[in-house]
Structure 1
Amino acid sequence: MEKKLIETQENILAAARTIFAKKGLAGARMQEIADAAGINKALLHYYYRSKEKLFEQVFEEAFKKLVGPLAAFLADDSELFLKIRNICTLYHKVMAEYPFIPNFIINEASTDPSRILKLLNIVGIEEGKKKTAMQISEAIETGKIRPIDPRELILNIISLSIFPFASRPISEQFLYKGEDMDEVLKSRANRVSEFIIQSIQI
């Protein structure tokens, strides 16, 4: 019985991820999610009393997947260049498994930015910011890298790692038509990290 309950909940979440990614909170309908999950609407409401509660769980899960690599990067005690390679590799793995996340987060963040701000404290971003800023400052002082604002470096990493997945439909048609886009994106993990390192390395 318990196994059946867990399976039903997983089916609901899988259906909700797909529909929320396509239509957002405002456009999604509970009946549509119930149909996609293969259950009736009454059972869906048994698990989730409202569309908003279901959306909050799906959104929080997606946001943690997106921001988790950044939290890991900030908390990482590895040497700076290795940290950069680690986060680029980790972002590729996450985005390849959850390709809907970038556009889903961007769309909903523009609708309700406060949702993002609340979750930032949950994933542990703040704890690692000072550590990474100090590490970057030390690398500048020792002549390892050129002067750069730590925020700019972090933004470059996130942008170059995530945007290709968010823009995949366009890139697939206009830049890499006829090529295996999965392989293109897979090979980018190393290229992005090396591009970033070369841009700051002295």
Structure 2
Amino acid sequence: MPVRARGPGRPRGTREGEPLQDQLLDAALTLFAQRGIAQTPLSAIAAEAGVTKAMIHYHFSTREKLLDVLIEERLMPLRTSLIKALCGHADPIDALTAFARSLVAQARICPWLPGLWVREVMSEGGLLRVRMRAQLDAIGEQRTTAHIEAWQRDGLISPALKPEFVLMSVFGMTMLPLTVLGGPPDAQAAEAVVEHAVAMLRHGVRERASASPREIA
């Protein structure tokens, strides 16, 4: 379905005085989550934001440049806040609960997050998946993996768990249900998603933490 250009005036859903670049990023994220990056030309983003195509080219000469800014200004701060939530707790259940709660809270603030994650990060060939791997430094990933490995050495979580897959699992247990629900969840739905993820984690993380991988299998 073609995108209908907006008439003159402030783009829908933006705040008075909000920088135009932020408005364009908001429009891009909304369309990327709905359609996918490859199916969203710059002209569609301009139409969604209610500006001319020349204006979006002024701010982002190419879609690749837009993606670079999007990662730096929107996804990097999100990543930093999630790492902080995880590493701020010594107990693994408290830490992973905080991580899941922070992730769902971000999805309430940023309705594009679940759809974007499923389309462009989880899916094979997703453009964000490839670009984030190339641009994001490995420090944050190494820090969280080391945190999980320390829990295993201390006997706090099951040795059968693969540290590099733990946070990926939390993403799956939160983002997929939120995608199925569609739209930003209300407080009750958000809490239900968190409680479900934590219950899954509590069973897999806490129970039989001292058992060997062979015993658990």
Tell me if 1:167 matches 2:180: yes
> 1:93: how far off?
0.3
Change (3 A) 1:77 1:186: closer
- Residues 38-75 of structure 1 show CA distances to partners (whole Å, capped at 9, x for unaligned) of 22222221111112211332355554466446523553
> 1:120: how far off?
4.1
Change (3 A) 1:165 1:119: farther
State the distance in 1 between where 2:145 and 2:85 align: 9
> 1:164: how far off?
0.7
Change (3 A) 1:5 1:45: farther
Q: Is the 8 A contact 1:71 1:123 kept in 2?
A: no
Q: 2:197 aligns with which of 177, 187, 192?
A: 192
Matches within 5 A, 1:75-90: 75-90=87-102
For these two proteins, the number of residue pairs brought into alignment is 186
State the distance in 1 between where 2:198 and 2:48 align: 39
Letter of the 1:167 counterpart? V
> 1:78: how far off?
2.3
Q: Give the helix-richer structure, 1 or 2.
A: 1
Q: Which runs of 4+ in 1 moved over 6 A?
A: none
Unaligned runs of 5+ in 1: 173-180
Tell me if 1:157 matches 2:170: yes
TM-score using structure 1 length: 0.73
State the distance in 2 between where 1:97 and 1:154 align: 20
Change (3 A) 1:18 1:135: same
TM-score using structure 2 length: 0.69
Corresponding residue for 2:70? 58
Compare 185-194 and 43-52 and name the one that shifted more: 185-194
CA RMSD in angstroms, aligned pairs only: 3.1
% identity of equivalent residues: 19
Corresponding residue for 2:28? 16
State the distance in 2 between where 1:161 and 1:65 align: 19
Corresponding residue for 1:46? 58
- Residues 95-154 of structure 1 show CA distances to partners (whole Å, capped at 9, x for unaligned) of 22223223323323422443132244267121231132112331x2xxx55443243544
Find the residue that maps to 2:90 and give its secondary structure.
Answer: coil
State the distance in 1 between where 2:169 and 2:197 align: 10
Q: Is the 8 A contact 1:60 1:119 kept in 2?
A: no
Change (3 A) 1:23 1:163: closer
Tell me if 1:126 matches 2:139: no
Unaligned runs of 5+ in 2: 1-15, 208-217
Letter of the 2:103 counterpart? Y
State the distance in 2 between where 1:65 and 1:33 align: 23
